[in-house]
Structure 1
Amino acid sequence: MSVSPMPKIVLSTSCVYPESTASGFEIAHRLGYDAVEVMVGIDPVAADIDAVKKLRDYHQVEVASIHAPCLLVTQRVWGNDPWEKLERSAVAARTLGADTVVVHPPFRWQRDYATSFVEGIRRLNASTGITFAVENMYPWRTGRAELKAYMPGWDPAEFDYDHLTLDLSHASTAKQQSLDLVGQWGDRLHHLHLTDGRGSLKDEHLLPGDGDQQADKVLAKLTERGFSGHVVLEANTRRSASRHEREEKLARALAFIKTHLGATAPTPAA
């Protein structure tokens, strides 16, 4: 009986914000993460692929995935053409040895991009050799009002994408349960953003286990299924009072992931 390989445990460079992409590689190496996910646009270095390559080689930490610059705050990174951003993300992934690009659904005001998005993602998957995994988002709410911010929609499971990224904080904000989504998505689940939330109107990105998404059971379910994608910590540590406190949180999260994936390797102390 064959045994599925353990998923790579990956640190998103967004976890160290407001520290730099360079700090993300340094901390990933020190704490023993398998790889990093580069959030393009978190700082100028993240958009400079030659600089990221030097960080990868210096710290000897591989790059597992690229998060395309599709957030509100990264709209001007790599130009204004959203398709060019995705093409450049694929080039970055190939250059850095990554196999996955994470992309959000288009905003509603990006009408031309949104109209051809489903077909365009399928084309990129076929033409680039890189897996584009569309991430679940959530409806924007203000009290009782709900704004339809994404097009064709915030829930990627409703559309014909081959590969999906599950973000636990986004699921919480959308009033969903990630454990249910793992079952519903089946083999379309390619990539995991491990975090948490408490159902707030805001996207909280808590440390896994600190919210309502049963992160421990999600990891156990993935192990049971033989999930071979990447488990990426994408948590908010910006309120940490010091580097030491930030590293302690990220070390604790790594231990949580290893425990509930069933890994037995020791986790270095922060």
Structure 2
Amino acid sequence: MVKSLPNTYLPGPLCYLSRSDAFLTVSSNYHLECYKYQALAISSGVDHGTNNNDVRRKGVEDESSLSTSQSSKRVLPEWSFNLGECALGIQTTQRIKNTPQTIIVLGERNLFCLSDNGQLIFMSKFEYNPSSFIIYNNENNNNGMQSDSSSSGVRYIISTHSHTLFIVQDGHIRWAAHVDSIPVQVEVCTVQGIRGMICTLSETGSLQCCYLGTEPVSTSIPAITSGTMINIQDAEQQLSKLNKEIKQAMNDPTLVIKRKANAQVVIQIENTNQFSVN
């Protein structure tokens, strides 16, 4: 099945939403759009027994009214959300029983967290340039069953162009770690029975398997502290002393100083007819 989406001219991120059997993508006008698989199949002519009224109800619009020579159908999104910027990636949380899934969209300057019906849950503004991200899977409890996502929240890792990994939960940074290269892809995996290992892929193809350190990386500028307090009276005395030394140096005849700062320069121009303009 091949289908062209409206307002989509360049390739972008694509994600499958299993709970609603739909696809998520970002159009060229920076809108996050959700398309039902059934609507895509009908618009491609897979189900020929469906009439036009049923097609419109399922999110497909007939374009025969726009052009008599065209009999193709244009698919309409189930819902749309205006991001206002280019998206670097789209991911969803795991589907657990009948609980709704959460959609995370990584933008160039913001991160958007939405419900599976397109409602904004929260939005985080970046003070750095992100490169990629990955959503944490829910950990297993003691019974071997996955815990509810509502209790642990949405956890994800964001990599930046400043060689930093941020461990975030529900928009709040829990940890920060430094890496040697700029990750273009991040994954959380199990290596030799050790869970929670972070694998990063750099833009040069370097693959690294990392783990979090014991001390977080500080992203704030450290405060400049001084061991001695500044005395205003001593500072004024030092300033007057320096001004006195400068004045004595200016009056020293041994120094080559141009005393006539306002000297006039006289330019004499003689009028002659030796020059001609061709």
TM-score normalised by structure 2 residue count: 0.21
Higher relative contact order (CA 8 A, sep 6+): 1
Q: Which has the higher strand share?
A: 2
| Structure with the higher helix share, 1 or 2 | 1
